[in-house]
Structure 1
Amino acid sequence: MPSYVVAGASRGLGLEFVEQLAKPGNIVFAMARNPSQSKGLQALSKKPEVHILKADITDPVGLRAAAAEVAKVTGGSLDVLINNAAYVSKKYEFLQIDEFATEQELIDDFKLSFDTNVLGPVLTTNAFLPLLRKGHVKKVLTLSTGIADAPFVLKAEYAYSPAYCVSKTGVEMANVKYAIKYKKEGFVFLAISPGVVNTAEEPAAPEIIPKLQEMAAAFQKVAPHFKGPIEPNESVSAMLSVLDRATIKDSGSFVSHLGTREWL
């Protein structure tokens, strides 16, 4: 009976991971900072396969408590950890690196991005490693983004989201460090881009639409076939397929839902 922890499960891709994994024979732990505020998560919690965990990925104490709750259900093991939780500022998303109104705003956005997008997955992984080492599957999937791929960004000339992109580049290296240490134990660590996914909960503000069009044009410069976002169910289904196929030789890789480094 495979067991999964999905960190950042309250909405979007995280919620979709829980929904697709919540099937007979699996045990799924949906972890969120405020699970009671997620209608989707509350609905899924009625399924017998789903267990809700309340924890912030930047809080080591809360993460250890969550791991202890998992251990009570599984007998001390865990098969798969999915690090989905992430932060990108809506306020600063379409600024370039020298366009912050103040230095303090730049500092705050970079610090929050690093804490959530790099330290968060590291702390979460460390908290669940003792359980993963006793599991049968030993896989960790950490969501990244194609706009953290430096060669792609250079070709596309995509200048926005500096803090988010820099922090997601950092989590790819953290993934490599884990892969190196735990290779002999049969672990598989993957960083993955979900593609461009429609996770918006409301229509884009009118002032944002030109930026989104500019972003699409930048992507099409590198990938002329790019037609726009895919839906969460398509992305998650593809990522789970990539995860299922991954072996120890793939550990430390950055891949996409397509199974390669190409993500559009």
Structure 2
Amino acid sequence: MPSYAVAGASRGIGLQFVAELLARGNVVIALARNPENSEGLQSLKDNKTLHIIKADITDLVALKNAAEETAKATGGSLDVLINNGVYQNKAHLYNTLVDFPSTEELISDLTNSFQTNVLGPILTTNAFLPLLRKGTLKKVITLNTGLADVDLTSKCEYPKITSYSISKAALEMVNVKYALALKDEGFSFLNISPGFVNTAQTAPSEEEMKEIMVMLGAFKKAYPDWTPVPVSPAESVCTMLGIIDNLTVEQSGKFVSHKNNREWL
């Protein structure tokens, strides 16, 4: 049976990937910074094909150990890596580049965003690359967002969610560079946006709701006929798995939406 490693598996879309892949009978490696605190992972831990490993995607030692543990669980190979870990600082989510409280906070937010959202997938991919090279499917999937798309941002005229968008835009180039570097080895690299998904664990505050409505209004500039109704993580993951299952080497390096094109909403 195919083997999958999911980085950032403690909740939301990452956890849903774990659950769906297990239901399909796969061997699943779930990487989480604090798996003991994830009720979702703990509820699945008795599954015989699930291996839960504690690993922070920015921690080289932890990733090395995670790859070694994965090799023991799979016999030394890995078919698919799904990079899902993400950093967002709610305190600065709706700041633009020109209205952070201080330059120091701007630097910190950008640095932390790049550390997790760009370096994290790079370090994780490199740590698991020896196992992926021995795998059959050789697929590396990295979750991205339509907010990283320059054309969409320009059409929406939306300047906020700054550090997250900038770092995720860099992630598209990371995907292309990997695809080119490993194109002769049969790898398929894909950036994919999950769509408009409800992953919130708590209800937004009144102020957050105001910002969300502004953002949705901006999206309507690009997609005037779009109805802003979020889908569930389960629906999103099932849709993405359909795309991942059919991913070919010829498509390596692409960044697509949940519709398998550049239509983000």
TM-score range, shorter chain: over 0.9
Normalising to structure 1: TM-score of the pair?
0.98
Q: State the partner residue of 1:261.
A: 262
The letter for the 1-side match of 2:22 is A
**Are 1:24 and 1:49, in contact at CA under 8 Å, matched by a contact in 2?**
no
Distance 2:184 2:155 in 1: 37
**Where does 1:192-211 land on structure 2 (aligned, <5 Å)?**
192-211=192-211
Q: State the partner residue of 1:43.
A: 43
Q: State the partner residue of 1:84.
A: 84
Normalising to structure 2: TM-score of the pair?
0.98
**Which blocks of at least 5 consecutive residues in structure 2 are unaligned?**
none
Distance 1:162 1:70 in 2: 35
Mean CA deviation greater in 223-232 or 166-175 = 223-232
Question: 1:121-174 deviations in whole A, cap 9, x for unaligned?
Answer: 000000000000000000000011000000110000111111111100111101
Distance 2:216 2:227 in 1: 8
Mean CA deviation greater in 134-143 or 21-30 = 21-30
Q: State the partner residue of 2:93.
A: 93
Distance 1:209 1:101 in 2: 21
**Where does 1:148-227 land on structure 2 (aligned, <5 Å)?**
148-227=148-227
Question: 1:182-218 deviations in whole A, cap 9, x for unaligned?
Answer: 1111100001111111000011101111111111111
Q: Secondary structure at the match of 1:207?
A: helix
The letter for the 1-side match of 2:252 is S
**Are 2:178 and 2:253, in contact at CA under 8 Å, matched by a contact in 1?**
yes
Distance 2:263 2:61 in 1: 37
**Residue 18 of structure 1: CA displacement?**
0.3
**Residue 225 of structure 1: CA displacement?**
2.7
Distance 2:28 2:107 in 1: 37
Question: 1:33-79 deviations in whole A, cap 9, x for unaligned?
Answer: 00000001100112112110100000111101000001001111000
Distance 2:239 2:39 in 1: 25
Distance 2:177 2:141 in 1: 14
Distance 2:62 2:255 in 1: 28
The letter for the 1-side match of 2:220 is Q
**Which blocks of at least 5 consecutive residues in structure 1 are unaligned?**
none
Distance 2:99 2:140 in 1: 36
The letter for the 2-side match of 1:216 is L
Distance 1:231 1:31 in 2: 22
Moved over 2 A (4+): none
| CA-atom RMSD in angstroms | 0.8
**Residue 24 of structure 1: CA displacement?**
5.5
**Are 2:4 and 2:80, in contact at CA under 8 Å, matched by a contact in 1?**
yes
Of all paired residues, the percent bearing the same amino acid is 55
Q: Secondary structure at the match of 2:20?
A: helix
**Are 2:138 and 2:187, in contact at CA under 8 Å, matched by a contact in 1?**
yes
Distance 1:158 1:196 in 2: 16
Distance 2:90 2:41 in 1: 23
Q: State the partner residue of 1:131.
A: 131
Question: 1:214-242 deviations in whole A, cap 9, x for unaligned?
Answer: 11111111112322221111111111111
